[in-house]
Structure 1
Amino acid sequence: MSISHRQTASGRPLRVAPAWVGAATPTADSPADHYLLPVRDAVWIWSVRRFARLALWALPAAAVLYGWFTVGVNVPPGPLPVGLLAAWLAAVSLIALAGLLAGSRTRRIALTGLLVTLAGATLLVPLAVLPEEIAGEAFAMAPGQVHTLIEAACAFTGTGVLLLGWAVFRSKLVNPADGVLLMLAAVALGAGSHAVKPLPTVGALLMLAAGMGLAWTGGRLVPRS
């Protein structure tokens, strides 16, 4: 493929790429131009993958804040802002993880796990922020049933993270041990208030280890030419 050179306003040569680039190695029975992508699409895909690799570092940060929240250390903002910040960082990192697994064979499991996790988190956040009486009025139920709904939201969120961990384990794209750690952390997340006191903190440490591994290996992933 020839590349033409033109002069810019500053006099420097401008390198102009051809209109199409290869996205993947075609198979023997496929047309030669079936796997060609426009340059703008290839640049967009590369930018999305770069965002996903960088956003994975939000998972260990969320694990640190969640561990801080489970220990119960008194901080000036209070425990609620720390928990909300941890949930936001975890949501960003899990979206990035599902995007990184979009090109793997477990993309459907990853997408299902992401949707289940977001649904559980969407239900859990207002229940955790609002008082029990106000939450009971908002959900049209008795105040005693709000606690049961919180447990169900925790179990729903943990199930979604468990599916994401299974997708990581089966993807053969990153280290499968990180998927095992993420699944073990999901058990602690889904246990809710039924967990013994050290278990949520242990779950945060497991999530920290999984997040560090995923961010490190994910940052070194390069798509095939």
Structure 2
Amino acid sequence: MSISQHHTASGRPLRVAPAWVGAARPATGADDGLLPVREAVWIWSVRRYARVSLWALPMAAVLYGWSTLGAQPGPLALRLSAGWFSLVAMIALTGLLAGSRVRRPAIAGLLVGLAGVVLLLPTAALPPDTAPAGTALSADAVQTVAFVGALVTGAGWLLLGWAVFRSRLVNPADGILLMLAAVSVGAGAYAVQPLPTVGALLMLAAGMGLAWTGNRLIPPA
């Protein structure tokens, strides 16, 4: 017996809920709930990556909060590690929301956040009031670039938090917490204590909630 692209290996029809797939409807307009196996496998892989990688968000929050307390191995190393985990979390969160009605603000948040990180990285390792050699930037200009980078990164998290709040896929309270944490991220080095630590705690709460509920969006195998 041949196996259709709309059937599993056992021959049973493959039915996928459109709420978590976000796939296009058939051209005929029929809504029979069937989806080609090759598309379902690809969607499953993306969602599996997204739900596992969401745990990078609480990791980033822990490292960022740790750096605000002046712990070792040093604020620079901790913040660079937190930035890497936050990038992974941004991509995972966007992948999780790609099939929902808030895909556009989620993608916009990812792109804005990436732009902010690009601005932050060149200035992350520079000491205060120091200009990089071989460039026309002054020390004040470097501080301005760092502030703009933090502001743009915070705007990216704000858009992602808004997308979470409006998605109806996860707890909307996690989106509110993420938007509040974005204020601390956007303040950057200009934030005074205890705002950075409070922001890290808010991001940790949002990340734990998203990572926990995100695992329930895909039916068990």
Q: Same fold (TM over 0.5)?
A: yes
Cα distance, 1:18 vs structure 2: 5.3
Which among 37, 42, 45 is matched to residue 44 of structure 1? Answer: 42
Alpha-carbon distance between aligned partners in 2 of 1:46 and 1:32, rounded to the nearest angstrom: 23
Residue number in structure 1 paired with 2:21: none
Cα distance, 1:130 vs structure 2: 3.6
Please, which runs of 5 or more residues in structure 1 have no aligned partner? 5-14
Which among 57, 61, 64 is matched to residue 62 of structure 2? Answer: 64
* 1:20–1:39 CA contact under 8 A, matched in 2: no
Residue number in structure 2 paired with 1:135: 132
Which among 115, 119, 122 is matched to residue 126 of structure 1? Answer: 122
Matched to 1:150, the amino acid is A
Using the size of structure 2 for normalisation, the TM-score is 0.84
Alpha-carbon distance between aligned partners in 2 of 1:171 and 1:89, rounded to the nearest angstrom: 23
Matched to 2:64, the amino acid is Y
Residue number in structure 1 paired with 2:85: 89
Matches within 5 A, 1:135-174: 135=132, 137-138=134-135, 140-174=136-170
Matched to 1:154, the amino acid is A
Higher strand share: 1
Matched to 1:135, the amino acid is P
- Point out 4+ residue stretches in structure 1 off by more than 2 angstroms: 15-27, 29-38, 130-138
* 1:20–1:38 CA contact under 8 A, matched in 2: no
Cα distance, 1:222 vs structure 2: 2.3
Residues 211/92 of structure 1: CA separation in 2 closer, same or farther (3 Å cut):
same
Matches within 5 A, 1:184-199: 184-199=180-195
Using the size of structure 1 for normalisation, the TM-score is 0.83
Residue number in structure 1 paired with 2:201: 205
Matches within 5 A, 1:175-190: 175-190=171-186
Residues 19/115 of structure 1: CA separation in 2 closer, same or farther (3 Å cut):
farther
Residues 94/141 of structure 1: CA separation in 2 closer, same or farther (3 Å cut):
same
Residue number in structure 1 paired with 2:218: 222
Tell me the C-alpha RMSD between the 2 structures. Answer: 2.8
Alpha-carbon distance between aligned partners in 1 of 2:35 and 2:184, rounded to the nearest angstrom: 43
Residue number in structure 2 paired with 1:16: 9
* 1:188–1:195 CA contact under 8 A, matched in 2: yes
* 2:150–2:186 CA contact under 8 A, matched in 1: yes
Query: Radius of gyration: which is bigger?
Result: 1
Cα distance, 1:155 vs structure 2: 0.5
Cα distance, 1:21 vs structure 2: 3.9
